[in-house]
Structure formats: structure tokens, C-alpha cells
Amino acid sequence: MIDLKTTLKIAVNSLRINKMRSALTSLGIIIGVGAVIVMLAVGTGAREKIAKDMDSMGSNLLMIRSASAKSGGVRMGMGTRPTLTLKDAEAIEKKVTGILAIAPYSAEGKQLTYGNQNWSTSVGGTTASYLFIRNYEIDEGRNFIPEDIKNNTKVVIIGNTVATELFGDVNPINKTIRIGNVPFKVIGVLKTKGQSGMGQDQDDLVFIPITTAQKKVFGTDFPGTVSMITIKAQDAEILPKTEKETEEVLKQRHNIGKMQDNDFEIRNLAEMQETIKSSAKTMSVLLGAIASVSLLVGGIGIMNIMLVSVTERTKEIGIRMAIGAKAQDIRIQFLIESFLLSIIGGFIGVLAGCIISGFIGLTGAMNVSVSAFSIILSLGFSGLVGVGFGYYPAYKASLLNPIDALRYE
């Protein structure tokens, strides 16, 4: 029967005697595990940042935009030809199934003034539903009410950046600002959302009633038109059906035949979000796989050093066998040594990886997130590397003939 306690003690003493060699042997594992921790932290952080950005945009969304205008045979881009109207939004809401909320939207850049302060920002004309659809929350004040839309009321909801630039520490609620030359009463301030994944400040904007925007602020050659209609479906499963029915309603309203091109475009943001998340997950796995190569290199280093150790300690092995140690005792001893070298290097590597990841996060260069899964995975893999690459040297040591080993110089 194998005396594990004695074998473990012998293995630990052997590593302690050769401290420098043990440290250098573990260095490959330390670097490998540290690299895996950092790469997985970067990949996980990127995934979490993307998920946060996707959530801030809203979920289960359809975005309908006006068609592309042509000038001299050149297509000018989506939204350059106004074809969507408020009536379209009302028809879609009445006839299409699976809709949780719907909101028309049009936006233009405008100059805002309050007292001697001014700020240029995006002014969005919409309804109360738009804030719900795009996950905007009211921090102070209120949202639009139906009377605001019906009566073309001159009220405005402002983002946190606009509130800071125009009002500083003053409470904006019930204050009057000018959008262009038109006075508006501030009825609400939005909660901070921060930057989007594209680096856009999501707090640098204001919202006004869509009817007020059309009649008193924007000034358009196409009265009643909107640049976009946004739909939030009840869930992801019904979204394809909602998209198909929406297309049918708009084709009917715009008198578009089967062989004609649509004068609108429907974008399924849920599909786009899933594609982006899948790409981020693939990137995370790829980064982890690349870093794992250094762990394998560290394992090869352990195998080489253990083979050298077997050669140097041939006489010691012969003495142990001569006094009763069996082949499996020798094999277990060397396996324990390689495992300890690997797992100790793994713990140090995890610590180093966490410190480096924390430093990267503090610099703000990128989002990082060290997960318990990555730590467990790295330690488990380092242990397997130690046993896997240490087996051959251990097996070789156990095959030595005691008499030949004692004669070895």
C-alpha cells in the first residue's frame, strides 16, 4: 500500500532543497495562468460592456426608417426621403400583434439657451413611449402626457449633460429654455445613461412632443412625416411575426406592389444584438485559447526539468528502491512534485493575473472582469498540465533498475 504521507513529505523536501530550480520551473505556469486570467478578464469585460450597451438601447426592438432618396442616380442614404408619418405609427399600433409599445421619432440638431448659457444638442420629437422603449428613466419631474402630444405643448425633457451645461447646480424643473427661438418649459430630467458602445454621450439630448417638433421647431417640407418609428415587441419569440405584419401594413398604406421596392426599411435590433454578443463571446474564447498556449509551454518546461531531475537523482531512486520503495511509490513521488510545481505556479499566476487585470481596469483603458469561473478553470488546467506533463518523467523514474541506479555516477 502506498504511504502517501511519506511520499508527499519526500516530494516537498525535494522541491525545498532545489528552491531556485523549482521557482524557475513554475515560472512558465505562472506566466501562462496569469495570461489566461488577464485575457479572459478582458474578454468577459468586453462582453459585459456590450451587454450593458445593448440593454441601454432596449430589447426586442424594431426600427422602421424612411427610404433612401436619389439625386442624379446616387442614393443618398436611409432616411433622406421622408415616407413615414404619424398615421403610419397609429395604423401599426392598431393592426399589428405583439406590440408592447410604439413611438414615432424625429431629431435635429438645435441650439439651446438659458440665460447667458447655451448648448448645441440633438432635439428629439417623440412620445412618452419612446423613453420606455429605449430604457430612459425620469430622474426628476415627469414624462409626457397625452395632452402634451394633442395640444402641441411646449415642454421639454432634458438629459443630464444638457442639465449640467445649461443649469449647473440649479434645479432645471419648471425653468424655461429656448430651443432655437421657441421657449420651452423643462418638465423632466433623465437619469444618467453614460456613453454608448460607439462612444456617444447618451445624456446629451432633449425630448419634446412629436407634434410640437413638427409644427413649431423643425419646419419641414413634408408636414406630418417622421424619420423613424420604433417598436418594442412583447418578447423575442413574437418579434419575427410583428416585423412581418408591420411590413404588410406599411406596404398596404403606401400602395407598394409585390414587385416594387419598399419606401421604408425595417431593422431587427434583436438579431443585431445577438450577432454582436455572439461575436464578443467568440472573441473571449479565442483570447483564452491563445493564452492557454503559454500554459502548455509551461507544461513542457516542467517535463524537461523533471526529466533532468530524474537523471540527477538516479542514485537516490536506487537507494529508495533498495530499502523497499516500489515502482508506484517512485512514480507517485515524481507526479506529486510536478503537480505541486504546477499548482503553486497556478496560484501565483492567478494572483498576478488579478493584480494586472485590476491595474488595467483602474487605468480605464478597457473594461475587465475577473470571474470565479476563469480562476477555477486556470487552476484546474494548471493542475492537469502538471500531472499530464509530469507523468512521463515519473514513469521513466519508476522503471529504473535498483542495481543500475545504485551504480549510476
- What is the number of domains present in the chain? 2
Report which residue type is found at 89.
A
What is the rounded CA–CA span in Å between residue 80 and residue 233? 26
The secondary structure of the chain in percent helix, strand, coil, rounded to multiples of 5, reads 55, 20, 20
Q: What is the pLDDT of residue 220?
A: 67
Q: Which of 230, 262, 294 is at the close of a domain?
A: 262
- Please tell me whether residues 281 and 167 are part of one structural domain: no
For residue 85, what is the DSSP state?
E
For residue 192, what is the DSSP state?
P
- Please tell me whether residues 256 and 280 are part of one structural domain: no
Contact between 230 and 134 (Cβ < 8 Å)? yes
Question: Collapsing DSSP states into helix, strand and coil, what is residue 191?
Answer: coil
Nearest one of 270, 396, 269, 374 to 330, comparing CA atoms: 396
pTM above 0.75, yes or no: no
pLDDT tens-digit profile, the chain (409 residues): 456 676 677 667 777 777 777 787 788 888 888 888 888 888 777 777 766 666 666 678 899 998 764 444 444 444 456 789 999 999 999 999 999 999 999 999 999 999 899 999 999 999 999 999 988 999 999 999 999 999 999 999 999 999 999 999 899 999 999 998 899 999 999 999 877 656 678 899 999 999 999 888 887 656 678 989 999 998 888 888 999 999 999 999 988 888 888 888 888 876 666 666 677 677 777 777 776 777 777 777 778 777 777 777 777 777 777 777 777 877 887 788 888 888 888 898 889 888 988 888 887 667 788 888 888 888 888 888 888 888 877 777 777 776 666 665 5
Nearest one of 169, 170, 175 to 156, comparing CA atoms: 175
What is the rounded CA–CA span in Å between residue 277 and residue 40? 15
- Please tell me whether residues 238 and 165 are part of one structural domain: yes
Range of the domain at 354: 4-54+275-407
The answer to whether position 73 is within a domain reads no
Handedness of CA 302, 308, 311, 314 (dihedral sign): negative
In the chain, DSSP finds a helix count (H) and a strand count (E) of: 13, 13
Handedness of CA 256, 259, 262, 267 (dihedral sign): positive
- Please tell me whether residues 291 and 256 are part of one structural domain: no
- Please tell me whether residues 224 and 347 are part of one structural domain: no
- Please tell me whether residues 289 and 377 are part of one structural domain: yes
Q: What is the pLDDT of residue 112?
A: 95
- The dihedral over CA atoms of 326, 328, 331, 332, expressed in degrees to the nearest 10, equals -110
Q: What is the pLDDT of residue 210?
A: 93
Contact between 45 and 367 (Cβ < 8 Å)? yes
Contact between 255 and 280 (Cβ < 8 Å)? no
**Cα 256 off chain centre by:** 40
As a residue count, the chain comes to 409
Report which residue type is found at 99.
I
- List Cβ neighbours of 171 (8 Å cut-off, separation of 6 or more): 140
- Please tell me whether residues 257 and 279 are part of one structural domain: no
What is the rounded CA–CA span in Å between residue 49 and residue 39? 15
Q: Which of 232, 262, 292 is at the close of a domain?
A: 262
Q: Which of 262, 285, 303 is at the close of a domain?
A: 262
The answer to whether position 150 is within a domain reads yes
At 129, which helix (H) or strand (E)?
Answer: helix 128-133
What is the rounded CA–CA span in Å between residue 140 and residue 170? 13
Contact between 246 and 266 (Cβ < 8 Å)? yes
Q: What is the pLDDT of residue 157?
A: 96
The answer to whether position 67 is within a domain reads no
- Please tell me whether residues 91 and 227 are part of one structural domain: yes
